[in-house]
Structure 1
């Protein structure tokens, strides 16, 4: 089957790298993804984490839109409970006006009181001029940002379906509920009468390299970082040398075994096989890859190899021109 590939960039900070260097690496990676034929490029929101530099995804998205031409660019996602819906609507209306047809507004429910989230979404949709699902009204989404809900369980999936928005399932956080969540999403979406057809994607943590040995070395560093984070030690991503020297505790090894279930690592051919299977199993035509490595060059090489393995069509052209 033909699968579209996209990117979720958490702007990882490797040890011996600064947050500023990580942010500049995200710009370079988006430019490469634009040339390589990826569909969309999302940037994440994290706060108070030494391992991630992306604290303001709406600002970074604007910079990436200015440096790319073909990609849809957006957030994966804005943590809506932290903000007033009016401000989010204003920011993304500006972005979508300057770069029409290229802006995705991905929304997450973390970061604040969850009980207000449905009401905040309703207000945000109203401010963006989005019609009720199945109303037949002209929908401002065609000119404005495309809204996505992000989630790792069934509640956000069902809510996305009822609202008639697109939905991205975070397989890299919790792979087990993915199939059921996407089925719930499509069922609720169909019942809502929303148009166009439901659009769901799967976000998967992926590491590939020129050899399986290199891919597994990169995976080991990622798993060490994640295990430490799970156990309360939030640090930048370790280098391969640090990972090789590390003496794993029993608790770290246990967490690594759990987290490996949500990681696809290996040669490009092996990764393509697994991702194609996941897409078929979950009924999606698009995989959003999330790659965390100590060195940005390894992330770039991973994207290059994925583009080759999936036969993406390389694109050229000048930088985007803003509409002013």
Structure 2
């Protein structure tokens, strides 16, 4: 089976660009993703970050649903500990009522105390009338509920998603080590909840960037790694230009962090990146890869997704499976 590709968009802010530029680029990217045949498009939630503009994914998702026609749009994800389940249910009830069958509700447990996260998830499901747990709250539960996804970078959310019978997405780009164990635990414990589409085998979210030549892809990758190493060391900045990364004098600590982060970053020409993504899908037993691409210049990001999608579409299924 051909590996499906989707988009995880963090609305990255590059040097010389504003947060408004980044949000506008997210709209452009969603429309391009639909044109290119990506399966779904998710937007993330970050706060107080010079490098990310997406602070309100549910609002951005509403805009993207209005600006597209077919692609599934969702959140990757709403940080549930920050909000009351009632408010989240109302927001997604409206979205799912306006765009039935096109809304993914991805939930994360970061953003605050998470001891009661499982209880919050259960309450949210009941309010939306999901999982066969009643008809939901009047005026909140839509006729076609959103598809619920739990997001994680460890085993906790994988086990919870399995117990609840929801879908699960693993953040390989944050913490690749436990990916196999988490996805296996999810698949071994998952039971369809009866309140929506049967959950799949899970999704792997991978950070990747491509360009027409290896040299160009290397330059874009070094920009990402410089940004990420700085962030790890407490210096949260916009993404640097490839030129700035090339001229940067790396400290020993930055180089160490870049080496670590480089293990979870895929870069190269479109054929190289696609081949690696297909291998990752096979290694982790998933049929869908959610691609997360960060660049300083929004045009480089649009080009990267276009090149990847065009190459994937041109590869015969038999060739992709034999990578």
Q: TM-score if structure 1 supplies the norm length?
A: 0.92
- 1:203–1:288 contact (8 Å) kept in structure 2: yes
Corresponding residue number in structure 2 for 1:154: 155
User: How far apart are residue 198 of structure 1 and its match?
Assistant: 3.3
- 1:167–1:200 contact (8 Å) kept in structure 2: yes
- 1:82–1:111 contact (8 Å) kept in structure 2: yes
Query: Does 1:176 find its partner at 2:193?
Result: no
Q: Alpha-carbon deviations, 1:72-115, whole Å to 9, x = none?
A: 00100000000000000000010011111100000000001110
- Aligned residue-pair number: 310
Structure-1 separation of matches of 2:110 and 2:201: 22
Q: TM-score if structure 2 supplies the norm length?
A: 0.92
- Tell me the SS of whatever aligns to 1:236: coil
CA RMSD of aligned residues (A): 1.9
- 1:36–1:312 contact (8 Å) kept in structure 2: no
Which structure 1 segments of 5+ residues have no match? 314-324
Structure-2 separation of matches of 1:160 and 1:197: 10
- Tell me the SS of whatever aligns to 1:144: coil
Query: Does 1:208 find its partner at 2:217?
Result: no
Distance 1:193 1:20, change over 3 A: closer
Corresponding residue number in structure 2 for 1:226: 228
Which structure has more RCO (C-alpha within 8 Å, separation ≥ 6)?
1
User: How far apart are residue 8 of structure 1 and its match?
Assistant: 0.3
- 1:153–1:177 contact (8 Å) kept in structure 2: yes
Give 1:1-324 correspondences, 5 Å limit: 1-131=1-131, 143-190=144-191, 196-311=198-313
Which structure 2 segments of 5+ residues have no match? 316-323
- 1:37–1:312 contact (8 Å) kept in structure 2: no
- 1:279–1:287 contact (8 Å) kept in structure 2: yes
- 1:163–1:189 contact (8 Å) kept in structure 2: yes
Q: Alpha-carbon deviations, 1:255-313, whole Å to 9, x = none?
A: 00000000000011011111111101111110000000000001100111111111179
Distance 1:100 1:199, change over 3 A: farther
Distance 1:293 1:40, change over 3 A: same
Q: Alpha-carbon deviations, 1:177-217, whole Å to 9, x = none?
A: 11110010011104988972534100000000011110010
Distance 1:29 1:179, change over 3 A: same
